[in-house]
């Protein structure tokens, strides 16, 4: 009898220590948010509504249909107005009837117009909410963030997936995790910068003038993405476009103050050493149109203050291979290879200097020269910390580059 009681109490103790799924959530109760968009409220909206939030939500049933050969959109974009990010999200949650889940959110998009008003409220809401990962990406949108969420890429199911592929794998634009950007905006020694995205027709840039339009109303709107679901005419137009990446948005005190485009954008990526194994195309007087692939890049900045003026010196070391030269050249000639190296060195140095000069016009040290001075001479940084934006804007900049051409191919002489 005693043995039976002992066994009974052992089993009872084991059962009481098994917790089980006390916080279980069914997938059918969740709305999986893949991407988030922030735009300025549409014209005519309530003046108290300061946020226009769009969520790209995965249609979970669509994945089942795809696996079984069915058809249907894999994502749905819905929007709502709110006094702030949380209020707008609650407005969406009340209408979709599911718990908004951010565990799979990969990117946050903010329109230029909204970013120029400042990101303080957006960053605060995202950083403090425990459901977001610090590795998500933040993009500035040239146009409406909602249009990018609704864009229909040709090689990916949703626009967010296409954008992340461009950033993480192809390296065609600036790559910075959300957590690092927040750290920059909170730092005294560097300002923040973000990649710029937009939409273009599938065939490339449109030559037609973009028609102005506005969204009406203050409630919820929805449109399809990545499938056949559709909403308004504007939603259909955005679905007919694909995502385009290019340019860098420059911030100062969490407000967007300008952009780096073209060569300045390339110079910024070169400075950040994010131009590895990428083709760099440019025009030259000596060789015509020319392109190289950069294999190695090492950028070393140095700062100093002489007679109250900031001096910035940037030295770049590279190795690259020739991809294309417009004019006929014999690359077996040592002097030709040396000339190509000098031309490329001048191009890279000029691109970096142009990026710094453009950032100076905004008074935004997105390169972290303030951090360089702080690490080099903390006392000197403390002396000039309060006037650093003005000091940076008036700095003397010198950019030099040197390197080697490691590959020209086996063709003896390029053809024009």
The verdict on 194 and 161 lying in the same domain is yes
Assigned domain for 340 exists: yes
Report d(CA 90, CA 107) in Å as an integer: 20
* Residue finishing a domain among 226, 260, 294: 260
Assigned domain for 116 exists: yes
Contacts of 44 (CB under 8 A, 6+ apart): 214, 216, 217, 218
The verdict on 255 and 291 lying in the same domain is no
Among the listed residues 98, 95, 68, 63, the one whose alpha carbon sits nearest the alpha carbon of residue 82: 95
H/E stretch holding 303 = strand 288-306
Q: What is the residue-level pLDDT of the chain in tens, covering all 416 positions?
A: 677 767 666 776 766 666 555 555 677 788 899 999 999 999 888 888 989 999 999 987 644 454 444 445 788 999 999 999 999 999 998 888 888 899 899 999 999 999 999 999 999 999 888 888 888 999 999 999 999 999 988 888 889 998 988 887 776 789 999 999 999 999 999 999 999 999 888 766 544 444 433 333 344 455 555 443 434 455 555 457 888 888 999 999 999 999 999 999 999 999 999 987 888 999 998 888 999 999 999 999 999 999 999 999 999 999 999 888 888 777 778 888 899 999 999 999 999 999 999 999 999 999 999 999 999 999 999 999 999 999 999 999 999 999 998 877 656 565 54
β-bridge partners, 304? 311
Residue 2, number of CB atoms within 10 A of its CB: 6
Domain limits for position 363:
274-416
Assigned domain for 17 exists: no
The verdict on 228 and 331 lying in the same domain is no
Q: What is residue 63's predicted lDDT score, i.e. its pLDDT? A: 46
The verdict on 199 and 251 lying in the same domain is yes
Phi–psi pair at 36, nearest 5 degrees: -125, 140
Assigned domain for 268 exists: no
Report d(CA 140, CA 169) in Å as an integer: 19
The verdict on 112 and 54 lying in the same domain is yes
- How many CA atoms within 13 Å lie on the side-chain side of 381? 15
The verdict on 249 and 278 lying in the same domain is no
The verdict on 256 and 147 lying in the same domain is yes
Q: Into how many domains does the chain fold?
A: 2
Assigned domain for 6 exists: no
The verdict on 281 and 249 lying in the same domain is no
The verdict on 347 and 247 lying in the same domain is no
Assigned domain for 5 exists: no
Assigned domain for 265 exists: no
Q: What is residue 134's predicted lDDT score, i.e. its pLDDT? A: 87
The verdict on 255 and 361 lying in the same domain is no
Q: What is residue 214's predicted lDDT score, i.e. its pLDDT? A: 34
Helices within 54-166 (DSSP H only): 60-67, 85-96, 112-115, 120-128, 145-150, 159-165
Assigned domain for 269 exists: no
The verdict on 294 and 157 lying in the same domain is no
Phi–psi pair at 186, nearest 5 degrees: -90, -5
The verdict on 172 and 316 lying in the same domain is no
CATH number of the domain within which 357 lies? 3.30.300.210
């Amino acid at each position: 009898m005693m043995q039976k009681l002992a066994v009974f109490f052992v089993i009872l103790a084991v059962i009481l220590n098994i917790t089980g799924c006390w916080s279980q959530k069914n997938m059918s109760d969740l709305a999986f948010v893949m991407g988030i968009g922030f735009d300025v409220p549409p014209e005519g909206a309530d003046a108290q509504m300061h946020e226009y939030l769009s969520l790209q939500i995965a249609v979970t049933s669509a994945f089942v249909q795809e696996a079984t050969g069915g058809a249907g959109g894999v994502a749905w974009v819905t929007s709502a107005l709110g006094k702030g990010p949380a209020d707008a999200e609650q407005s969406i949650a009340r209408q979709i009837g599911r718990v908004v889940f951010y565990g799979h959110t990969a990117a946050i998009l903010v329109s230029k117009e909204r970013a120029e008003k400042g990101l303080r409220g957006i960053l605060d809401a995202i950083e403090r909410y425990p459901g977001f990962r610090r590795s998500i990406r933040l993009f500035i949108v040239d146009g409406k963030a909602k249009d990018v969420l609704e864009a229909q890429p040709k090689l990916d199911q949703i626009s967010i997936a296409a954008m992340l592929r461009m950033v993480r794998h192809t390296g065609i634009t600036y790559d910075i995790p959300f957590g690092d950007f927040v750290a920059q905006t909170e730092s005294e020694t560097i300002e923040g910068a973000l990649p710029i995205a937009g939409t273009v027709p599938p065939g490339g840039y449109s030559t037609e003038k973009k028609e102005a339009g506005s969204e009406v109303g203050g409630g919820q709107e929805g449109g399809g993405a990545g499938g056949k679901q559709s909403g308004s005419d504007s939603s259909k137009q955005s679905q007919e476009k694909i995502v385009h990446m290019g340019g860098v948005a420059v911030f100062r005190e969490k407000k967007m103050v300008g952009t780096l485009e073209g060569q300045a954008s390339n110079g910024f990526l070169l400075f950040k050493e994010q131009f590895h194994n990428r083709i760099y195309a440019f025009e030259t007087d000596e060789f015509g149109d020319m392109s190289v692939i950069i294999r190695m890049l090492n950028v070393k900045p140095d700062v100093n203050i002489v007679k109250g003026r900031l001096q910035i010196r940037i030295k770049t070391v590279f190795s690259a291979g020739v991809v294309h030269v417009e004019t006929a050249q014999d690359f077996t000639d040592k002097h030709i290879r040396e000339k190509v190296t000098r031309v490329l060195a001048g191009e890279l140095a000029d691109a970096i200097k142009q990026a710094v000069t453009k950032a100076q016009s905004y008074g935004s040290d997105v390169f972290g020269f303030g951090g360089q001075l702080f690490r080099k001479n903390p006392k000197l940084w403390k002396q000039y910390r309060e006037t650093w934006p003005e000091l940076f804007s008036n700095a003397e900049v010198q950019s030099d580059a040197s390197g080697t051409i490691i590959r020209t191919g086996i063709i003896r002489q390029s053809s024009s």
